[in-house]
Amino acid sequence: MSFDLIVRHANLADDRTDIDIAVSGGKIVAVERNIEGEAGRVIDAGGRLVSAPFIDIHFHMDATLSLGTPRLNRSGTLLEGIQLWGELKPLLTKEAVIERALKYCDLAVAQGLLAVRSHVDVCDDRLVGVEALLEVKDLVKDYLDLQLVAFPQDGFYRSPTAAKNLIRSLDMGVDVVGGIPHFERTMEDGRLSVKALCEIAAERGLLVDLHCDETDDPLSRHIETLAYETQRLGLQGRVAGSHLTSMHSMDNYYASKLLPLIAEADIQCIPNPLANIVLQGRHDTYPKRRGMMRVPELMALGVNVALGQDSCMDPWYSFGNADMLEVAHMAVHTGHMTSRDAVKACFQAVTTNPAKTFGLEGYGIAPGCNADFVLIEARDAIEAVRLKAGRLAVVRRGKVISETAPRTASLTLAGRPASIDPWTYAPVEAAG
């Protein structure tokens, strides 16, 4: 047998070890031990992890890499971030948004991040971000799947032209209906916005993904309405609640009623631990709340939880590196998810879980799937999260599209190894 590519001696995220992966015509054709045959290219994984690509299910590509323009967020709060973005918005040009987004996608590819769901602000009447990201979606489609959410950042009702612009954006080809009920003027407006947005999605056969209850106010309960509308309109499995941080502060009795409602409606839950660990709790003295949704409890009920990065070098978050292992690492810490199974669950929350939320077809390491995968500088998913390990090779449709050299450090310490691999701290060469 002759293949385009064979990866040999790979460990898989489901704990199978020493597996070969054969690729032909851009598809995975075999996943088993000791595949016989030749290939145009052979990659020896050498007992390292090969995973399906990372997916970022919550991002803002219209704002990314804009840090410091026109100024920095001094208070570090979500509300100042929104205000700052409002100052930047009229200054945006389509060309600049495209340039920043393409630059970010280069970085994403190098990090093995090959699918991104990005919210795009529709509250600028020029719809500069929408036009730019639709163009980017087409420009990157051979190497990265970009899904866009029409996001009325300044409120579906609160911003005078948001409702009209949201429809315009969907007509232009934006894929998902967004919203921000907790930012509307009243609870009632928030509730009505959830209802209206779900109805728009139902009418058009679209997915829903709302920034929902991104507040420390335990009485912000728009998620309850979102679950109700999902049931009412038969949208089960097609609706996502992003952030849901008020859930952190809710009383346990109410949460015990709410979480099963979320499970029943098959709401996709999207925590964003990097952003929310620093944006939430800003009005607290001590103790300071963490502002994270109840991830282990949702997972225990069978809810599909997928982690987002949210921001990278923008008005809300001045860190980030397109690294979904960093996101999983933070989720482990903020959710007390340190058991072996919980760390694996966090790895799944940046791979297989978001694939379901995104609706990605042909995703996975199995015969018939697209030949998209990442060779990671770690032996298994837990080590990958621990080390935020390097991505040695990134493959899309059977072709290597990014390679990074393994990291080693040379030491000059008497009686100690001459070099170590700083990712694993395993000696790679005896002291000379």
Q: Which positions are annotated as active-site residues?
A: 214
Beta-carbon contacts of 385 under 8 Å, excluding residues fewer than 6 positions away, are 325, 328, 329, 332, 343, 346, 347
Nearest to Zn ion of 24, 169 (CB atom):
169
Going by the DSSP 8-state scheme, the letter that residue 120 receives in this structure is: E
Beta-carbon contacts of 402 under 8 Å, excluding residues fewer than 6 positions away, are 109, 110, 112, 391, 393, 394
Please spell the DSSP secondary structure of 395-431, one letter per residue: EETTEEEEE-PPP-EE---TTS-SEEETTTTEEEE--
Nearest to Zn ion of 7, 174 (CB atom):
174
3-state secondary structure of 212: strand
CB of 243 to Zn ion, least distance (A): 7
Nearest to Zn ion of 180, 393 (CB atom):
180
Q: Which residues pair with 395 in a beta bridge?
A: 373, 400
Q: How many CB atoms lie within 10 A of CB 110?
A: 18
Angle between helices 222-232 and 252-264 (to 10 degrees): 30
Nearest to Zn ion of 275, 384 (CB atom):
275
Nearest to Zn ion of 184, 310 (CB atom):
310
Q: Please report, as residue ranges, which positions from 298 to 327 form the binding site for Zn ion (by CB under 5 A).
A: 310
Q: Please report, as residue ranges, which positions from 95 to 134 form the binding site for Zn ion (by CB under 5 A).
A: none
CB of 149 to Zn ion, least distance (A): 9
* Residue nearest to Zn ion as judged by C-beta position: 310
Please spell the DSSP secondary structure of 353-395, one letter per residue: HHHHHHT-SS-SSSTTSBS-EEEESSSSHHHHHHHT--EEEEE
Question: What's the CA gap between 239 and 176, in Å, rounded?
Answer: 10
Q: Which residue has the tokens 């379901």?
A: 356
Nearest to Zn ion of 56, 323 (CB atom):
56
CB of 59 to Zn ion, least distance (A): 8
Please spell the DSSP secondary structure of 133-166, one letter per residue: HHHHHHHTTTT-EEEEEEE-TT-TTTSTTHHHHH
- Tokens standing for residue 128: 């500069």
Buried b (16+ CB within 10 A) or exposed e, 224-245: bbbbbbbbebebeebbbbbbbb
Question: What's the CA gap between 236 and 230, in Å, rounded?
Answer: 6
Nearest to Zn ion of 29, 61 (CB atom):
61
3-state secondary structure of 305: strand
CB of 216 to Zn ion, least distance (A): 16
CB of 177 to Zn ion, least distance (A): 15
- Tokens standing for residue 400: 């290597």
Contact track, Zn ion, 325-364, x by CB under 5 A: ----------------------------------------
Nearest to Zn ion of 314, 421 (CB atom):
314
CB of 211 to Zn ion, least distance (A): 5
CB of 310 to Zn ion, least distance (A): 5
Please spell the DSSP secondary structure of 327-359, one letter per residue: HHHHHHHHTT--SHHHHHHHHHTTTHHHHHHHT
Amino acid, res. 208: V
Q: Which of 7, 3, 2 is nearest to 395 (CA)?
A: 7
Question: What's the CA gap between 392 and 349, in Å, rounded?
Answer: 21
CB of 151 to Zn ion, least distance (A): 8
Interface with Zn ion: number of residues (CB under 5 A): 1
Q: Which residues bind Zn ion (CB under 5 A)?
A: 310
